Amino acid sequence: MTDATPAPAPTVTLRLPNARHADRVPAHITPEQMERVRQAAYNLPQVVKPADYLPDDAPGFETHLDGLGLILLQKAVPHQRPSRWISPGLIDAALRHLDTLGVGRETRALMIERSATLEALGIQRQGDGWDRLYRQHLPLTYPAWAKPGTLGVAFRLEVPSEPVWLYFQDGDKRALLAGIAGNPSWPHAAELAAHIDGLAERSEWCDAKAMDSLLPRLQAECLRPQSLDALKQACTRAQDRWERQANEQQTLSSLNHELAFQGYPDSFPMARQLGRKVTLFVGPPNSGKTYAAFEKLAGALDGAYLAPLRLLALEGRDRLVARGVPCSLLTGEENVPAEGSRVVSSTIEMVGTGTVIDVAVIDEAQMIFDNSRGWAWTQAIVGVPAREVIIICSAYAVPAIESLLGLCGEAVVVREFERKQHVQLLHSPVPLQALKKGDAVVAFSRREVLMLRDQIAANGHPVSVIYGALPPEVRRREAERFATGESHLLVATDAIGMGLNLPIRRVLFSTMTKFDGVGDRPLNESEVHQIAGRAGRYGIHEEGFTGVLHEAEPGAARALKELLPRTPRAPRHFKAPVAPNWWHVSTISQRLGKTRLHEVLSVFMDQLKLDNAHFEVAELEQMLGLADELDRNAASLSLKERFVYAQAPVDTRTENLVQDFLGWTHEHASRGEAGRPSFLDTVDGHSRLDRMEQALRACTLWLWLDLRFPGIYGHLDEVVELRNMLNDGIERQLKAKRPLWQSRGGRPGGKPREGGGGGGGGHRKGPRGA
What is the average pLDDT across 670-688?
90
pLDDT for position 42: 87
What is the average pLDDT across 759-766?
36
pLDDT band at 249 (very low <50, low <70, confident <90, very high): very low
Strand partners, 72: 85
Per CATH, the number for 266-416 is 3.40.50.300
Q: Compute the distance between CA of residue 446 and CA of residue 730 in angstroms, rounded to an integer.
A: 14
Query: Which pLDDT tens digit goes with each residue over 588-616?
Result: 787 777 899 998 898 787 765 545 678 88
Instruction: Report, in angstroms and rounded to the nearest whole number, the Rg of the chain calculated over CA atoms.
Output: 29
Report which of 259, 255, 357, 268 is spatially closest to residue 304, judged by C-alpha positions: 357
Range(s) of the chain covered by CATH 3.40.50.300: 266-416, 423-563
Contact 766, 646 (CB under 8 A): yes
Residue type, 503: P
pLDDT band at 172 (very low <50, low <70, confident <90, very high): very high
**Residue 241: its H or E element:** helix 228-248
- The end-to-end CA distance of the chain, in Å, is 101
Is the confidence at residue 639, as pLDDT, over 90? yes
Contact 499, 367 (CB under 8 A): no
Q: Quick check: helix, strand or coil at residue 465? A: strand
Determine which of 103-107, 392-396, 403-407, 719-723 has the lowest per-residue pLDDT on average: 103-107
Query: Which pLDDT tens digit goes with each residue over 703-752?
Result: 999 999 999 998 989 999 999 999 888 888 888 777 776 543 333 333 33
- State the virtual CA torsion across 649, 653, 655, 657 in degrees, nearest 10: -20
Which of 475 and 414 is assigned the larger pLDDT?
414
Q: Quick check: helix, strand or coil at residue 415? A: strand
Percent of the chain's residues with pLDDT above 70 = 90
pLDDT band at 7 (very low <50, low <70, confident <90, very high): low
Is the confidence at residue 12, as pLDDT, over 80? no
What is the average pLDDT across 358-386?
94
pLDDT for position 470: 82
Instruction: Write the DSSP string, 544-564.
Output: EEEEEBTTSPTTHHHHHHHHT
Contact 192, 228 (CB under 8 A): yes
Which of 167 and 12 is assigned the larger pLDDT?
167
Is the confidence at residue 307, as pLDDT, over 90? yes
Query: Which pLDDT tens digit goes with each residue over 542-583?
Result: 678 999 999 989 999 999 999 988 888 888 888 899 888 888
pLDDT for position 607: 60
Is the confidence at residue 257, as pLDDT, over 70? no
Determine which of 129-143, 346-360, 510-524, 695-709 has the lowest per-residue pLDDT on average: 510-524
pLDDT for position 251: 31
| Count, residues in the chain | 770
What is the average pLDDT across 247-264?
47
CATH superfamily for 423-563 is P-loop containing nucleotide triphosphate hydrolases (3.40.50.300)
Q: Compute the distance between CA of residue 297 and CA of residue 276 in angstroms, rounded to an integer.
A: 15
pTM of the model: 0.65
Q: Hey, which of 274-288, 417-431, 631-645, 651-665 has the most confident mean pLDDT? A: 631-645
What is the average pLDDT across 690-703?
91
Query: Which pLDDT tens digit goes with each residue over 29-72?
Result: 999 999 999 999 888 999 998 888 887 767 777 788 898 999 99
pLDDT for position 751: 35
Quote the DSSP letter at residue 430. B
Residue 688 to residues 189, 607, 684, Cα–Cα distance (Å): 69, 47, 9
pLDDT band at 759 (very low <50, low <70, confident <90, very high): very low
What is the average pLDDT across 476-483?
89
Residue 718 exposed, middle or buried by CB count within 10 Å (0-12, 13-18, 19+): middle
pLDDT band at 769 (very low <50, low <70, confident <90, very high): very low
pLDDT for position 431: 93
pLDDT band at 182 (very low <50, low <70, confident <90, very high): confident
Residues in CB range of 589: below 8 A, 6 or more apart = 595, 600, 639
Is the confidence at residue 333, as pLDDT, over 70? yes
pLDDT for position 538: 53
Strands 544-548 and 423-425: parallel
Helix axes 621-633, 597-608, angle to 10 degrees: 150
Residue 204 to residues 145, 238, 355, 406, 410, Cα–Cα distance (Å): 12, 15, 30, 19, 18
What is the average pLDDT across 642-652?
92
What is the average pLDDT across 312-334?
91
Is the confidence at residue 10, as pLDDT, over 70? no
Residues in CB range of 527: below 8 A, 6 or more apart = 494, 497, 514
Is the confidence at residue 262, as pLDDT, over 60? no
pLDDT for position 76: 87
